[in-house]
Structures are given as structure tokens and as C-alpha cells.
Chain A
Amino acid sequence: QVEQVKLLDRFSTSNKSLTGTLYLTATHLLFIDSSQRETWILHHHIAAVEKLPLTTSGCPLVIQCKNFRIVHFVVPRERDCHDIYNSLLQLSRTAKYEDLYAFSYNPKQNESEQVKGWQLIDLAEEYKRMGVPNDYWQLSDANRDYKICETYPRELYVPRTASKPIIVGSSKFRSKGRFPVLSYYHKNKEAAICRCSQPLSGFSARCLEDEHMLQAISKANPSNRYMYVMDTRPKLNAMANRAAGKGYENEDNYSNIRFQFVGIENIHVMRSSLQKLLEVSGTRGLSVNDFLSGLESSGWLRHIKAVLDAAVFLAKAIAVESASVLVHCSDGWDRTSQVCSLGALLLDSYYRTIKGFMVLIEKDWISFGHKFSDRCCQLDGDPKEISPVFTQFLESVWNLTEQFPQAFEFNEAFLLQIHEHVHSCQFGNFLGNCQKEREELKLKEKTYSLWPFLLAEQKKYQNPLYNPDFSPELTLLEPNTVSFNFKFWRNMYHQFDRSMHPRQSVFNLIMSTSEQNKQLEEDIKELEAKIKQRNGRSDVVLVKEQEQTAPPAPVALKSPPCFQKEQPPMPVTDAVRTIEGSNAADNRYSELVSEFSKAEPAVVSLEYGVARMTC
């Protein structure tokens, strides 16, 4: 505990600062300012701690977080500062999985809730939803004991015609044994997205089993003779890999494949690109020109565009040409995950719902072995393995939500929250590098799953503009990938710089409008009920009236169309009016009400005042 610490604002030009007390807990660094506002920083989020040269007001300490928060403390005494510095260094670098927050995090749930939480996302169920197994695709038990590929899950879907020897043979010809398996099956087009790693082809090596495997995939799609093989790497990189005995498929050896390079850069390029982007966005007193040229030279948006372009290509191949596609990069767990998951997102509206997006992440990222632990540096390890691959995926999704504000059930806050927890190590989902490792860690018993927690606060993550009717099942999104459409994602990279956010939160406004509408609906239901009650009585009145005089009846018959045209109330007797209300108007209401629940108000971009913290 250190008192009299100052927290500086990164961008405000004035030298205003908050003074408060810094506490160090086992899991968090906590800063409480004089007005009792709390800032929590999880130790796992800390990417770097830096001591700056001593200034007159004290010893400055800069903490950079993986969720792009940067805090600048000034500690009055050098000794305190040094203590904090050392303990943070120690605490932020964990050597063993067992020391991660997830293993000590206890949200007061009993065991059955914990188990249920883990069962929330069931991938077997998901494959069933896609329509497999079917006549062409089957569940293979080849990898049941992780014997063929350690980084794949136990359950894999392969073409029915691919026998076990073919699978084994093919896996020997693929880097890290990651042979071609099904990632997404498009029911209507009968076309599949498959994924694998690069072949060990070198300059001339061939493998008959692998060729059979591809043929089996191609044959599993009766509607098209050819299939695409997408290598997501730049051609030059793929060529260079040939010298190391790896490489890419030779079109002459495989029958009926169309080979395509897509040119997404590797993890090292991405890492340094993000580094440059953060340098630009962290500069104080930046001019517009510096910002734009910095944005350009970081290349970040170029990479995002490349990823999205690849996904669009993939989705079009399936939806337009009905061709199956096999995607790979080097090891098939970074760029391949990005492209496959984005492709599926474009093809299938289910993945654009909150639940579906969770399924997508579980399937294409977690189960197929995206190395979250290495890429997010959960444990102290090789810094060269760190790369913002998953961040790029989220940013691509965000760009899609900007172009299609009505197509997604979730909002930006959902994406940010997932990003937060990928790095927080608070939940078990993203720990480890592959399923095998997760089983060894006994994550399902010792930790909790993130998804039920997100579902519980679903309200926060709902997109008020979502219109499920806009995209019925399996509608292809066709985003425009001209450069003008890519924007700097301020709410990701400046999530915690409060002075950077728009001053007005549209999100809350729309939410309150939709609340109001709901209230209105309820009122109407109440009114309906009341009218029904009264209707009983007025029916009697009407019957009596009809007995007495004939004329009122035709009036009552004519009035409904008038009512629909929304003309002012017409001069009729009270009794007749009540009947009108209960007939014509009520029908109209139920129409309106149903329209309402479908379509909710909208805005160009949703902004969130302050982002929530993990705690």
C-alpha cells in the first residue's frame, strides 16, 4: 500500500492528475483516488512495467497492459516505486499454469453450475446443426487418444471415403500432423470449409494418401467438380518454406484443385505492426498528418483488410461457386483460424448471434488449437511467440459490425469483453495451447467457463439494432473491402482513455428507447385485456342496440378500414367505438408489436462511455 500516488491522464494537455492510494493484492493492482473511484488492473493484464527517470514530483511508473490500457503513476518516494516495480514484475510473469488467476478465481458457484457452465457450448451439437454427420461426412475416432495430432481435438469430422490409412498417411505428410478436417459445412450448398497445415512437400515430395484425402473432400461435395486450396501466406513465404521441406500443394499432383495464395503476413509482422500502431496511438500532441502516416506505416489496417479479403474470397467460393475450400497457412492455427472463422461468420447468420459467436470461438479457435497461451503470453515465455492474431479476428468482426449494424446480435462491448478475458486468465477457456493440454490441466474441474458469465449479463452485450429478419439462416454477408471502409478502432486501442471517447453515449439512449417501447407494448397488452373485459359487456349493449335499430351495424362494419387509415375518431356512439377498438385496432397493434420486437432503433456507431473492468 502506497499513499499519495498520482495518476496522470495520457492525453489531456493540462497537468491535472488524480491523487490516491495504490494497493497491491494477490491478483490486482488497485488504485483508489480521493473521490473513491477505483481502478483495477489485473496482474495478468500487465504487459510491461517501466520506471522512468525521476522527476520533481516523484518517481514515474508506466504500466502497459495487454488490453491496451496504459497507466502512468507518479510515486513520491523512490523506494516505494522500486518496491512496486519489483513486485509487479514478479506478479505479472507467471511460470506455471497453476499460478494463473483462473485456478484461484472463485465466483461462488457450486459444482453442478460449474459443470453446466462448461457444457453450455457443445461442439457435437454444433456439428449436428450444420448437418453432419451425413452421407458424405462422418465423425472419425482416429484422433481419439491424440495419437495422430496432438493439437487437434479428439472429435474430428472427415469425408466418409477417407479411410483410416488415408488419414494416417495424410497426417504424416502435413506439418505437425494437422491433416485436412472439416471446419464448417454449408448445408444448402453441400460445400465445406476444411482446414489443415502446410504439406511437407519440399520441392517435389508427394504423398498419395494426402492426394486421396483431398480428392475425398472434393468428392464429398457432389455439386462441384473442383475445390479450392487456399494458402493464406504470401507466395514468397510459402516458397521459402519449401527449402525447409515444407511448402504448398503442387497443382499437378492433386486432381481438380484450384490453388490460391492470399498473402496474409506472419505472426512476427503482425506483432511489430501492432507495436507501431500502439506507438502512434500513444503519442501525445499528434498532428493529423502524423497520425495518418503513422497509421499507414504501421500497416495494421492493411493486415486487417488482407484477413477480411481472404474471408470474403472463401465465403464467395462456397456461396457462389458451391466449391469446397481447404485452407491452410504454415501450421494451420493462426491465419487459418482467422480465415475459417470469418468465412463461417459471413456465411452463417447463427454465428452472428451471441451464442453462435461463442460456439465459433470454441470451434475454430479453442478446439482446433490456436495457441492462446503462447500468443497472449499467459506464461513467461518466448516473446517471439506473442502475436495479436485473435485481436485481429475481433477487429475484423468489428469492421463487419460497422458495415452491417443490423446483422449482429452482439455489440462492440461483447467483443471488447472477450478480448479482455482472452488475456485475463480469469476463466479456463483460453488457457493452454490445445485441447490435450487443457485436459491435462483439468481445467473443467478446476476453473470456470467464461461463456455463462457473459450470457448472464447478456443485456449489456445486446445490439439494440439487431434485426434477425435482415438475415435469415445462411445468408451471405457481402462486405465491401475497399480501403475507405476500414477505420481505426478507437474503442479498442483507447478503451481506457476516457477523454478520447465521444461525449455522448448513443448506446444508452437506444437502449432506453427500446425499454420505452417495451413499456409501451406492455401498456397496450394491459389495455387490450381491459378492452376484452369491457367487450363482453358492450357486446350485450350492441346486441340490444341492433335489436332496437338497424343503422348502427353498417357503421360498425365500415369503420375498420377507416381506422387503419388512421383517420381521426369518427362520430359514433361509445358502444360501437369500443367494439372497433377491440377488433380493428387490436389486430393492428399485434402487427405493430411484432414489428417492434424485430426492429429496434439504430445509430451509426455505438459508443460506450466507460468500459467495465474485470473484477
Chain B
Amino acid sequence: QVENVKLLDRYASRKAASGTLYLTATHLIYVDASAEGRKETWILHHHISSVEKLPLTTAGYPLLIHCKNFHVAHFVIGQERDCHDVFTSLLKLSQPVKPEELYAFSYNPKMSKESREMGWKLIDLKLDYQRMGIPNDCWEITDINKDYEVCSTYPPEIVVPRAASRAVVMGSSRFRSRGRIPVLSYLYKENNAALCRCSQPLAGFSARCLEDEQMLQAIREANPSCPFMYVVDTRPKLNAMANRAAGKGYENEDNYENIRFKFIGIENIHVMRSSLQKLLEVCEMKSPSMSDFLTGLENSGWLRHIKAVMDAGVFLAKAVREERASVLVHCSDGWDRTAQVCSLASLLLDPFYRTFKGFMVLIEKEWIAMGHKFSHRCGHLDGDPKEVSPVFTQFVECVWQLMQQFPCSFEFSELFLLEIHDHVYSCQFGNFLGTCHRDREELRIFEKTHSLWPFLLQRKQELRNPLYRGFTAYKELQPNTLPFSFQFWCGMYNRFDKGMQPKQSVLQQLLGCLRHSASLEDSAARLEH
């Protein structure tokens, strides 16, 4: 506990609040003494991405804290000793080494065991496959991976074409990087075109694998209405070529029957990481001129990357809907760009994924179950900084950009996205811990921690989109991906700078209004009796 600490506002330089800093086991709490009604700022230790001591100023010792949810707090502490203490304890607390130290394992929301287990059962992927019509004549859910023999980063149950025998699956898994074989991600019921995902083939310069070729053929034949299928490599061509030297690479059109091969240049995780870094630097400028801001935004390339991901999603959705063709998507390992692109395409194709429940299912299916390495990408544990990358953030931003173009198609509002984004980094719930299903089983997440989703569903009222027109109002979305359509997301990257937000929260007002309207109708009905 340190008293007389000042919290500086990032943009408005005039007022500096003064208050007290408390350090608990999980949070850093700042209580504003001057404000009426005790304003509190809570910062979760897991959210802290870096702590920095700045040179001494006249007011005291400044401490700059950057958070993973783009909160930047600038404290000024009166005494050097205190500052140093806070600094070292935060450093220690913000970088847990063992998974058991994570907040999720100690978080206790006073819930009975049954309701906790119910919470984990809330999202059932089998139900979602059933919704798509699987199992059917062409596709089946198999437990071939129950001992993680096929692939250690896939879930035990995967969906593959019925025509693919065990030998084909096993053979294909040996030819794919990390055994991530082609599996179904989404089946478009209307025309039987399927969205499948895998990792890059170990093709090198000339290697072939008959089983893998049969696997692709099985996928293609599961959709009789189209004579060909697309194979989409989401990497830039140059990167894919370079991978060939390492014995990996991409499919040779000559070896696979009736495939159409296509590159979509989404950059790799390292490019994305530095792009975000640059974007945040722009956000942190005190009072950028218009030119500084626009050049900074352009140099960061962030919106370019968002557009690339969106373009890829649109391409997939179009191929499935208009050309009735099945699509197989991969990148390098098939857990970053592939997850982005597949989930985005599903979102465009199926209105279910635009509901609360559906969006949860989508994240569970494409991201959590298929082994997006949340733990590494979000830096949950002290580890290799080169593995950190805002891949999931980009997906969330793509969804937000879609919400800007289709304000009536999503059941949830921007707040829901921000809430999810917060909890991906907070480690407060078990969902996003670990890197894959096997990892999570070993951590005994399902027994020891809580699932995020029931907590979000409870807050449905405040997270919903008041303009939502219902499930059936819009089917497929066809977004515009011209550069004009992409905006800087102030609500995400400048979320905690209160001065930056529009002065009037329309969302809150509208929600309040709808509540009024509901109670009005309610009373009217009562009056009628």
C-alpha cells in the first residue's frame, strides 16, 4: 500500500488525480482520493505486459504500466523506495512461470460444483456439428484422435469425410506439419460445400503422399455438386516458397486432382506483432497532428493486415456460397491465420455465429478446440516473446469492422467483444489457458477452473446490440472491403482514455430506451386486462 500516488491522464495534461495504490495478490488497485465517490482503477496482474520506471521528475518517480488490453497507466509515486518496491513486485507478479499460478486456479466466484460443471457443458461442439447436419452420408465425427495419435494439438473428436479410411487419415497426418490433417471446420448445409482446415504439407520440392492426395479427393467428392475444390494457402507466396527449403511448403497442383490452388498473402505472426507495436506507438502520441496520425496509421500497416484477413474471409465465403466449392485452408501450422480465416468465413456464412451463443461456439470450435496457442500468443506465462502475437485481437477487430458495416446483424455489441478480449488475457477463466485440448486436459482445467461463457451470458442485457434484427433477418453477409471501409478502432486501442471517447454514449442510451420500451409494453399489456 502506497499513499499519495498520482495518476496522470494520457492526453489531458492538466488534472492529475491523487490517491492510494494497493497491491493485492491478483490486482493492482488505485483508489482516487480526490474524486467524490471513490473512483477505483483495478488492474489485473495478468493484464500487465510491461512496467517501466521513467526518469525522476519534480513531482516524484513515474511508473508507466502497459497492459495487454491496451490500458496504459502512468503513476507518479512520491518516494523512490516505494516506487522501486512496486516496480519489483509488479515485475514478479505479472510474469507467472507455472500455469498453476494463474488467476483461474484461484478464482472462486462462489458457485456450486454442479453449476460450474454445467458451465463447462454450456458449449457443446457436437451440437454445432449436428446443426450443420453432421454426421451425414459424407461426413462423420470420429474419435480416431482420442489418444492424440493423429495429432497432439487437435481435439479427440474430429470430423473427416466418411470416404477417408483410417489408413488414409494416418498417412495424411504423417505428411502434414505437426500431424494437423485436413478436417472439417464448417459445412454449408445449403449446397454441401465444406470449409476444411489443416497445416502445410511436408512437400518440400517434390515429395508426394498418396494418402494425403486421397484425403483431398475424399473432401472434394463429399461435395458432388462441384467438380473442383479450392486449396487456399493464407501465406504470402514468398513465405510458402521459403518453407519448401525446410521440407515443408504447399500443394503441387499437378499431384492433386482437380484442385485450384491460391495464395492469400496474410503476413506471419512476427509482422503482426511489430505492426501492433507501431500502432500502439501512434496511439500513445500525446497530441499528434493529423499528418502524424495518418502517416503513423499507414506505417503501422495494421489496417492493411486487417483488410488482408477480411479479404481472405470474404474469398472463402464467396467460394462456398457462389461457386459451391469446398475449400481447404492452411497456413504454416494451421492454428493462426487458418483460425482467423475459417472463423471469419463461418461468421459471414451463418447467422447463428452472430448470436451470443453462436459466437461462443465459434471461438470454442475454431480457436480453442483446434489449438490456437492462446498461452503463447497472449504471453500468459513468462516465455518466448517471439511467440506473442495479436492474432486473436485481429479476429476480434475484423468482427468489429463487420459490425460497423452491418449494425443490425449481430446480437452482441462492441462491449461483448471487448469483454472477451479482456478475458483472453486475464487468465481468470479456464477457457483460454494452455495451447491445445490435450494441454488443457493435463492442466485439469475442467475440474479446477471456471468457464467464461456462463458469466458472459448472465450479462447478456448489457452486452447486447439494441439494433439486432433477429436471427432470420440477414443470412450471408457480403462486406465491402475497400479501404474506405476500415476504421481505426478507438474503442479498443484508446478504450481507457476516457477523453478520447465520443462524448455521448449512444449505446447505453439506446439500451436504456429499449428497457423502457419493454416495461412500457409490459405495463400496457397489464393495463389491457
Q: Which residues in B have their C-beta under 8 angstroms from that of A480?
A: 499-500, 503
A residues 65-93 touching B (CB-CB < 8 Å): none
Pair A403/B478 contact, Cβ less than 8 Å: no
**Contacts A465-B509, A503-B406 hold; do A484 and B517 have CB atoms under 8 A apart?**
no
Judged by a CB distance under 8 angstroms, whether B405 is at the interface is: yes
Residues 304-331 of B, flagged 1 when their CB comes within 8 A of A and 0 if not, give 1001000000000000000000000000
Q: Identify which of B21-29, B244-252, B355-363, B520-528 touches chain A.
A: B520-528
Q: Which residues in B have their C-beta under 8 angstroms from that of A502?
A: 404-407, 480
A585 to B528, CA, bound (A): 12
Judged by a CB distance under 8 angstroms, whether A490 is at the interface is: yes
Q: Which residues in B have their C-beta under 8 angstroms from that of A603?
A: 407, 467, 506, 510
Pair A292/B290 contact, Cβ less than 8 Å: no
Of the listed residues A299, A484, A510, A605, the one surrounded by the most CB atoms of chain B closer than 10 A to its CB is A484
Pair A520/B490 contact, Cβ less than 8 Å: no
A186 to B137, CA, bound (A): 78
Q: Identify which of B57-65, B104-112, B434-442, B481-489 touches chain A.
A: B481-489
A527 to B527, CA, bound (A): 7
**Contacts A295-B294, A520-B517, A601-B510 hold; do A405 and B527 have CB atoms under 8 A apart?**
no
Q: Which residues in B have their C-beta under 8 angstroms from that of A589?
A: 520, 523
Pair A520/B484 contact, Cβ less than 8 Å: no
Q: Which residue of B lies closest to A607 (CB)?
A: B407
Q: Which residue of A lies closest to B526 (CB)?
A: A569
A318 to chain B, nearest CB (A): 19
Judged by a CB distance under 8 angstroms, whether A440 is at the interface is: no
B263 to chain A, nearest CB (A): 17
Q: Which residues in A have their C-beta under 8 angstroms from that of B289?
A: 302, 483
**Contacts A602-B510, A604-B407 hold; do A581 and B516 have CB atoms under 8 A apart?**
no
Judged by a CB distance under 8 angstroms, whether B303 is at the interface is: yes
Judged by a CB distance under 8 angstroms, whether A600 is at the interface is: yes
User: Could you say which of B297, B298, B482 contacts A11, with CB atoms under 8 Å apart?
Assistant: B482
B residues 439-488 touching A (CB-CB < 8 Å): 466-467, 469, 474, 477-480, 482-488
Pair B516/A592 contact, Cβ less than 8 Å: yes
Pair A504/B290 contact, Cβ less than 8 Å: no
Specify the main secondary structure of chain B where it touches its partner.
helix
Pair B484/A488 contact, Cβ less than 8 Å: yes
A401 to chain B, nearest CB (A): 10
Of the listed residues A288, A291, A295, A477, the one surrounded by the most CB atoms of chain B closer than 10 A to its CB is A288
A residues 384-434 touching B (CB-CB < 8 Å): 402-407
Judged by a CB distance under 8 angstroms, whether B274 is at the interface is: no
Pair B509/A301 contact, Cβ less than 8 Å: no
**Contacts A404-B502, A484-B490, A604-B506 hold; do A293 and B483 have CB atoms under 8 A apart?**
no
Q: Which residue of B lies closest to A574 (CB)?
A: B529
Pair B504/A404 contact, Cβ less than 8 Å: yes
Pair A500/B405 contact, Cβ less than 8 Å: no
Q: Which residue of B lies closest to A296 (CB)?
A: B294
Q: Which residues in A have their C-beta under 8 angstroms from that of B527?
A: 524, 527, 531, 581, 585
User: Could you say which of A288, A483, A524, A581 contacts B293, with CB atoms under 8 Å apart?
Assistant: A483
Judged by a CB distance under 8 angstroms, whether A286 is at the interface is: yes
A300 to B490, CA, bound (A): 21
Pair B405/A405 contact, Cβ less than 8 Å: no
A537 to B324, CA, bound (A): 69
A290 to B488, CA, bound (A): 16
User: Could you say which of B294, B482, B485, B510 contacts A293, with CB atoms under 8 Å apart?
Assistant: B294
Judged by a CB distance under 8 angstroms, whether A456 is at the interface is: no
Q: Which residues in A have their C-beta under 8 angstroms from that of B482?
A: 11, 286, 500
Judged by a CB distance under 8 angstroms, whether B408 is at the interface is: yes
Judged by a CB distance under 8 angstroms, whether B42 is at the interface is: no
Q: Which residue of B lies closest to A488 (CB)?
A: B484
Judged by a CB distance under 8 angstroms, whether A509 is at the interface is: yes
User: Could you say which of B290, B301, B409, B503 contacts A305, with CB atoms under 8 Å apart?
Assistant: B290
Q: Which residues in B have their C-beta under 8 angstroms from that of A494?
A: 484
Pair B513/A287 contact, Cβ less than 8 Å: no
A residues 482-508 touching B (CB-CB < 8 Å): 482-488, 490, 494, 499-500, 502-504, 506
Judged by a CB distance under 8 angstroms, whether B295 is at the interface is: yes
User: Could you say which of B290, B301, B506 contacts A602, with CB atoms under 8 Å apart?
Assistant: B506
A residues 197-219 touching B (CB-CB < 8 Å): none
User: Could you say which of A403, A503, A531, A595 contacts B502, with CB atoms under 8 Å apart?
Assistant: A403
Judged by a CB distance under 8 angstroms, whether B288 is at the interface is: yes
Judged by a CB distance under 8 angstroms, whether B1 is at the interface is: no
A52 to B291, CA, bound (A): 35
B309 to chain A, nearest CB (A): 12
Judged by a CB distance under 8 angstroms, whether A588 is at the interface is: yes
A296 to B503, CA, bound (A): 26
Residues 278-295 of A, flagged 1 when their CB comes within 8 A of B and 0 if not, give 000100001111111101
Pair A524/B520 contact, Cβ less than 8 Å: yes
Judged by a CB distance under 8 angstroms, whether A547 is at the interface is: no
A504 to B519, CA, bound (A): 28
Pair B500/A482 contact, Cβ less than 8 Å: yes
A289 to B292, CA, bound (A): 14
Q: Which residues in A have their C-beta under 8 angstroms from that of B486?
A: 288
List chain B positions with a Cβ less than 8 A from chain A.
Answer: 11, 283, 287-295, 297-298, 301, 303-304, 307, 404-409, 466-467, 469, 474, 477-480, 482-488, 490, 494, 499-500, 502-504, 506-507, 509-510, 512-514, 516-517, 519-524, 526-529
17 other A-B residue contacts (CB within 8 Å) besides A477-B503, A504-B474, A589-B520? A286-B482, A288-B298, A293-B298, A296-B295, A302-B289, A302-B291, A484-B490, A509-B469, A510-B467, A513-B517, A520-B524, A595-B516, A596-B520, A599-B513, A602-B513, A603-B506, A604-B404
23 A-B residue pairs with Cβ-Cβ distance under 8 Å, sorted by A, are A290-B483, A292-B295, A292-B298, A293-B298, A295-B294, A296-B291, A305-B290, A404-B502, A465-B509, A480-B499, A482-B11, A484-B293, A485-B500, A504-B406, A504-B409, A520-B517, A524-B524, A566-B519, A588-B523, A599-B513, A601-B509, A603-B467, A604-B506
Closest 6 CB pairs of A and B: A296-B294, A602-B506, A291-B483, A292-B298, A483-B293, A302-B290
